[in-house]
Structure 1
Amino acid sequence: MILTEDQLQDLLDKSLAELPPGGDRAVVLEGSIAEGFGNPSSDIDFLIVVRSEDDLPTMPSLLFVDGRRVEIRTRSVRQLADQFDALQKGAGRPGRLSEDLLNRCQRLLNSHPLRGHALVDEVKAMLPAERFARIAADWWAHQARQSLRHAMALLCLGETDEAVDWTRAGLVQTVKSWAAGRNETYLEPKWLSMQLDRAGRPDVRDRYWELEAAAPASGDPHAARTHLTDCLAFAGELGLTGVPWRPERLTVERVAGVTTWQTDARVHVVRARREVFALGERAGAVWRSLVLGRPLPRVLADASGAGVAEPGPLLAAFVRYGLIRLAWKGGGTVTPALPLAAPPGPVTPPPSTAQPLLSVRGAAVSGPEAIDLVPLPAERFAAATMALVWSNVVVENAVEDLTGALQRGQWRVAELTARRAVHAALRGLFSAYGVNPLPADSDLVRRTDLLPPATLPLRTRAEELLRRAVDSPESGDALLADLRDYIALVRGTSGAEAFPLSFDSADTWRATLELGYDWLRIGAYLDAALPLEEARDLLASNGAQPHQAT
């Protein structure tokens, strides 16, 4: 130990002087110094054990004593008993064991007693060291299997450099499992070199460092596979089971709460009913090719057969974002994790910066391989797209009404109908940028300050159209022509250029219903507010008109 008993007792006396006095309690030194590791920068970690049933704070007190940082934690005997009990109950499923729980138990069991030795012995007797060593070895073995299986999958997917990193992680975890079986149970990997020195097996130590040094250079898939197979062989020699080189045992599986919604050619993937990912053309083709439950090599072949060259990185991104998962036949979901790092789970990328966000055909994407996170909550995404479609239906209806009013010389009706069309077009514009709920019609022009500066000319045109009066066929025809130009500009900005002429024919009305139905299905699934009550009838009829519903 790098500190003498006298030094430790002196540090403890000075630390306890800054705390309230206690009753029946013991004190131990935990952590790297107690393990026989440590250096001058290492913390001094004291644990005070109190004979009580209380729930004592988890957060440590942080002190600075004689130039050293001192952390003091407190635990009641009942809390420690609960920790050990939880660890033993969870030992049968090491993948579900909390790393923090394992770490807390290990630190106490390997601690150095400073005060109250009898109480310390009593607490440590709750979990024999040999039993803990087996639990720790099994936990590390589980982590190693996950990392090495993940590395195998990444190699198949063409993610060579990431595969090398996970191979290295699996190698460390394998050796940590082996060392834990020899009572070298300290979790922090940075002291692995000293643990291997103490383990008394120079052959294992030297082979580990040989493999660690042999990690291949970036971008060399052949070397990466050779390195992985060498590590798998070494892991087998150390007793790790369940990781043969058999990529066909990896399968691609569904993730609960992930659903697919296609509008026109755009594929949208909704994660946990909260987040929407919009897929570019190539990413969408790979997604549509998926047949879940199939072995990973076949899934890759299917994606290639769908016309996408090198689909592996896209599949890897789907896994990374938690849109699909990988499983090992007979071994459950592959869930790699690194100790003392971020917990395992799906990654959430930065939100897309595409503008405008939405069109009637789907969310905007940054490119053909995009897997873009729409920067709107899923419910608001659905509400905005439904409002976008419905606004364009209202535009079509208003233009039709305006045409009829002009034919009959109904100038006042024409003025009001033209304003209705302008407001509906603006509602579509706001919706394309994700604004929802929408401002009132009377406030739409003023609230264009919410939109990017590039839309300013549309505001100017809207203000001019809203002031227009109609008092003759000539002024009416001019208003209609200018309104059509304005609608075309707005639709060009909001991705609605190809919106059907809804009321032109039975075919265009059917196309409008089909487009609206696609978005209504998403909206209903996400419990978004529907744009009008009649939309429920369209949902109930599966997109057909009421008289055609079956």
Structure 2
Amino acid sequence: MILTEDYLQDLLDKTLTQVRTGDWAVVLEGSIAEGFGNPGSDIDFLLIGRDEDDLPTMPSLFFVDGRRVEIRTRSLRQLTDQFAALETGAKRVGRIPEDLLNRCQRLLNSVPLRGHALVDEVKSLLPAERLRSIAADWWAHSARQSLRHATAMMCLDEPEEAMDWARAGLVQAVKAWAAGRGETYLEPKWLSLQLDRADRPDVRDRYWELESAGPDVAVDDYLGACVEFAAELGVTGVQRDPARLTVERQKGVTTWQTSERVHVVRGRRDVFVLGERAGQVWRSLVLGTPLPRVLANARATGAAEAGPLLAHFLRLGLVRLAWKGGGTVAPALPLASPPGPLTPPPSTARPLLSLRGAAVSGPDAVDLVPLPADRFAAAALALAFSNMVVENAREDLAGALRQGQWKVAEVSARRAAQSALRGLLCAYGVSPLPADCDLVRRLSLLPSGIQSIRTLANTLTRVSIDSPERAEAVLRELEQFIGLVRQAAGADAFPASFDSADTWRATLELGHDWVRVAAHFDAELPLQEVRDLVASSGAQPHQAA
């Protein structure tokens, strides 16, 4: 150690005056106990009690004689459970939490200061040789995952990412080798000192040669060198063969297509909308097949960025990679953010929705829709349904005007205007909708560029008709209003639902796409009977085949 025991005992005495009393055994753990550290390193004391209480995990920090001192506490029962959990996790070493391994390692390599009998009892729960084996296997698993992932990124035309994961795999492979020789301290920042103590200059020098590779190195050659060196250090199961990687379905991911727009839903919550080329690549996927074949299929769609798009699908957790005979490839870095799918900032495209689907920023885009899946589905279905109601109200208005039924015409015109407003609010993701009487006021939620729509809405939702001349003027205003709203809401191609059998069929087909999505995510449906569209696959339920 770089500090004497007398100094540590004095520092402990001064620190314990600020700690609640108890019958504690005490150890020094961390970098100084391991023989590393420097004058800036903090002092880590672990206090161990025989009581059965759950003692807090959070450390207390004190500043004593110019040093930062951390105090942690653990009961004998907690430590017994901790070591038992490590042994259980060793059956599937890749699932051992980093924090669990770190806590066990720090304690087993700690320096006893007080209560030596209790400390010896605790350390006997897991022999040092067993810790070495578990730590070496844990690091080897991490190296294997990183190097496999690097191989995949190289195949997918992502050389910079491949280089970074090759470096990660290099560090992890050397840490696995060092752990097998007793250097089990987890933090990589002391790796240089660990390699010096291991007394194998050949391993140390080869590691530093690879670690210091500059930006001009050929990435493919560098990855090959890292894989070869890892194998020499005992890390098995990493061949430079991307054909051993397969692209697999990710649990909880579903695909929904509306018109030509592809939506991918992750975990029944996050909705990603794919641009035209991204959608073509997604539809080209044949899951369960080797990565090179999947890439060839994607490139056959004409997408120049097929490899990077596939890599992005992987980052987002929309698909997963598996190694033949080796399970899912899930790389992770120590002392970093926990691994998991990337969640990008939500899309800023406005309006959010159209009848074709969610708005998308470009042909290669994979945009996160800023609505959870159930609200996305409900808003999109309400957008389609509101436009159908507009068509119904227009039909009612035309019939009333032909008969001079002015009051009926007033109600129909107002209904058409209100339904159009519902669709506009839905296009911007407003769901649930405000009451019809509040629709015009709630236009304040939308961008200022719709001022002309707001002005006409104020007039049409309070319209009165008492003569043929007034009826003609209202009809012109309403048609202008509906045109403006549908253009703003991406619904300008909505069919005239009630004009003919063909337009009604087109309306049902359009509605069927959104009813399926809404029903799947248990979104509230505007009418219970629209569920019949799912059962009939978009056809009329009573029509003979």
TM-score (norm 2): 0.99
What is the deviation of 1:68? 1.3
Tell me if the contact between 1:152 and 1:163 (Cα under 8 Å) persists in the aligned partners.
Answer: yes
Per the alignment, residue 91 of structure 1 pairs with 90
Give the letter aligned to residue 65 of structure 2. Answer: D
Instruction: Name the CA distance, whole Å, in 1 between partners of 2:461 and 2:434.
Output: 17
What is the deviation of 1:466? 2.8
Tell me if the contact between 1:164 and 1:215 (Cα under 8 Å) persists in the aligned partners.
Answer: no
Per the alignment, residue 4 of structure 2 pairs with 4
What is the deviation of 1:330? 0.4
**Alignment equivalent of 1:334, drawn from 329, 340, 356:** 329
What is the deviation of 1:4? 1.2
Tell me if the contact between 2:456 and 2:477 (Cα under 8 Å) persists in the aligned partners.
Answer: no
What is the deviation of 1:529? 0.2
Per the alignment, residue 483 of structure 1 pairs with 478
Larger mean Cα displacement after TM superposition, 463-472 or 238-247: 463-472
Tell me if the contact between 2:351 and 2:427 (Cα under 8 Å) persists in the aligned partners.
Answer: yes
What is the deviation of 1:55? 1.6
1:378 and 2:373 correspond: yes
1:543 and 2:538 correspond: yes
Percent sequence identity is 72
Instruction: Name the CA distance, whole Å, in 2 between partners of 1:474 and 1:540.
Output: 47
Look up the SS of the partner of 1:203 in the other structure. helix
What is the deviation of 1:468? 3.2
Q: Deviations over 1:419-469 (max 9, x none)?
A: 000000000000000001111111111111111111222111111223432
Per the alignment, residue 265 of structure 2 pairs with 270
**Alignment equivalent of 1:506, drawn from 477, 480, 501:** 501
What is the deviation of 1:541? 1.9
Tell me if the contact between 1:266 and 1:362 (Cα under 8 Å) persists in the aligned partners.
Answer: yes
1:357 and 2:352 correspond: yes
Look up the SS of the partner of 1:547 in the other structure. coil
What is the deviation of 1:160? 0.9
Instruction: Name the CA distance, whole Å, in 1 between partners of 2:541 and 2:90.
Output: 59
Give the letter aligned to residue 48 of structure 1. Answer: L
Counterpart mapping for 1:141-290 below 5 A: 141-217=140-216, 223-290=218-285
Look up the SS of the partner of 2:28 in the other structure. strand
Per the alignment, residue 139 of structure 1 pairs with 138
What is the deviation of 1:417? 0.6
Q: Deviations over 1:30-77 (max 9, x none)?
A: 000100111111111000111222221111111111121111111111
Q: Deviations over 1:375-403 (max 9, x none)?
A: 01110001100110000000001111111
What is the deviation of 1:302? 0.2
Q: Deviations over 1:171-208 (max 9, x none)?
A: 00000000000000000000000000000100000000
Look up the SS of the partner of 2:63 in the other structure. strand
Instruction: Name the CA distance, whole Å, in 2 between partners of 1:482 and 1:299.
Output: 54
RMSD over equivalenced CA pairs, Å: 1.1
Per the alignment, residue 57 of structure 1 pairs with 56
Q: Deviations over 1:245-295 (max 9, x none)?
A: 111001100001100000000000010101100000011000000010010
TM-score (norm 1): 0.98
Give the letter aligned to residue 95 of structure 2. Answer: R
Larger mean Cα displacement after TM superposition, 96-105 or 86-95: 86-95
1:14 and 2:14 correspond: yes
Instruction: Name the CA distance, whole Å, in 1 between partners of 2:124 and 2:529.
Output: 70
Look up the SS of the partner of 2:370 in the other structure. coil
1:109 and 2:108 correspond: yes
Counterpart mapping for 1:26-45 below 5 A: 26-45=25-44
Instruction: Name the CA distance, whole Å, in 2 between partners of 1:507 and 1:68.
Output: 82
Per the alignment, residue 323 of structure 1 pairs with 318
**Alignment equivalent of 1:406, drawn from 396, 401, 423:** 401
Give the letter aligned to residue 85 of structure 2. Answer: A
Instruction: Name the CA distance, whole Å, in 1 between partners of 2:244 and 2:106.
Output: 38
Tell me if the contact between 1:48 and 1:75 (Cα under 8 Å) persists in the aligned partners.
Answer: yes
Tell me if the contact between 1:542 and 1:549 (Cα under 8 Å) persists in the aligned partners.
Answer: no
What is the deviation of 1:215? 4.5
| Poorly superposed stretches of 4+, deviation over 6 Å | none
Q: Deviations over 1:125-180 (max 9, x none)?
A: 11110110000000000000000000010111111111111100000000000000
Give the letter aligned to residue 20 of structure 2. Answer: P
Paired residues, number:
545
Larger mean Cα displacement after TM superposition, 473-482 or 162-171: 473-482
Give the letter aligned to residue 468 of structure 2. Answer: P
Please, which runs of 5 or more residues in structure 2 have no aligned partner? none
Give the letter aligned to residue 481 of structure 2. Answer: Y
**Alignment equivalent of 1:433, drawn from 424, 428, 432:** 428
Tell me if the contact between 2:62 and 2:70 (Cα under 8 Å) persists in the aligned partners.
Answer: yes
